[in-house]
Chains A and B, each alone.
Chain A
Amino acid sequence: KAGVTQTPRYLIKTRGQQVTLSCSPISGHRSVSWYQQTPGQGLQFLFEYFSETQRNKGNFPGRFSGRQFSNSRSEMNVSTLELGDSALYLCASSFAGQGYNEQFFGPGTRLTVL
């Protein structure tokens, strides 16, 4: 099976702009979770989508949002970008059936906000 893919791999934006990141899960996986990775804060959970519904949300401001499509692909949007949003954004997919919690990560999108 193909692994989790993310596009784009790199992005450079300026403060105040918005950005949309995309994640395609492993075929058959129904859950997509998003994480932010920074040197200072480590890996932090943003939100999880399952069957097109947000099932869990981390402690991030409302500028961070997401959605999931019927084919399980997910997008994450960050509006009004701030310098502190510079990070590696990782998505992870999971089958999410009963007892199946293994999450497999994509390569990430490196976002730089200038």
Chain B
Amino acid sequence: GENVEQHPSTLSVQEGDSAVIKCTYSDSASNYFPWYKQELGKRPQLIIDIRSNVGEKKDQRIAVTLNKTAKHFSLHITETQPEDSAVYFCAANTGTASKLTFGTGTRLQVTL
């Protein structure tokens, strides 16, 4: 089955700096890659996603890139703010079924 690896496990950046989180997946049939943000005690929230027919997608300060050949995808957050502090999960989905395989999460801390 699918396996998703995520790095780093923790990331500390200063406010205004950029943050990058990287994930690799094993199943070349995976075609959908969402990113979720989970604040303490809250539900995971979808922040951005990308499909396998697209190489890059951007939404304001957040962008995701996908390299299908290398089977990795990355989350980029620019101009980080304290409210970006949370745990971020990458995930991969194969086919049209709703079965996500998650990475182990990255705890992002944005310091003042």
Which residues of A line the B interface, CB within 8 A? Answer: 31, 33, 35, 42-45, 48, 50, 55-56, 58, 90, 92, 94, 96, 98-99, 101-108
A103 touches B104 (CB 8 A): no
Q: Which residues of B contact A (CB under 8 A)?
A: 32, 34, 36, 42-46, 49, 51, 89, 91, 93, 96-105
- The answer to whether A96 and B43 touch (CB under 8 A), given A42-B105, A102-B34, is no
* Contact (Cβ within 8 A) B42 A33: no
Complex Cα spacing A99 to B31, Å: 10
Check B98–A48 contact: CB distance below 8 A.
yes
In the complex, are the beta carbons of B96 and A99 less than 8 A apart? Answer: yes
> How far, in angstroms, from A56 to B1 measured CA to CA in the complex?
12
The 5 A-B pairs with the shortest beta carbon distances in the complex, nearest first, are A43-B102, A105-B43, A94-B98, A56-B99, A31-B98
Dominant secondary structure at the A interface:
strand
User: With A99-B96, A102-B34 in contact, do A42 and B43 touch (Cβ < 8 Å)?
Assistant: no
Q: Is the CB of A108 within 8 A of B43?
A: yes
Q: List 10 A-B residue pairs with CB atoms under 8 Å apart, sorted by A's residue number.
A: A33-B98, A33-B100, A43-B91, A50-B98, A55-B98, A56-B98, A56-B99, A90-B44, A101-B34, A105-B45
- The answer on a CB contact under 8 Å between A90 and B43 is yes
Interface centre among A50, A103, A107 (most CB of B within 10 A): A103
With A42-B102, A90-B43 known, 12 other A-B pairs at CB within 8 A are A35-B100, A44-B102, A45-B99, A50-B98, A55-B97, A56-B99, A90-B44, A96-B96, A101-B49, A103-B34, A105-B45, A106-B43
- Give the residues in chain A near B104, CB-CB below 8 Å: 42
How many Å from the CB of A48 to the closest CB on chain B?
A: 5
| Residues in chain B near residue A96, CB distance under 8 A | 96, 98
List of A residues within 8 angstroms of B42 by Cβ:
107
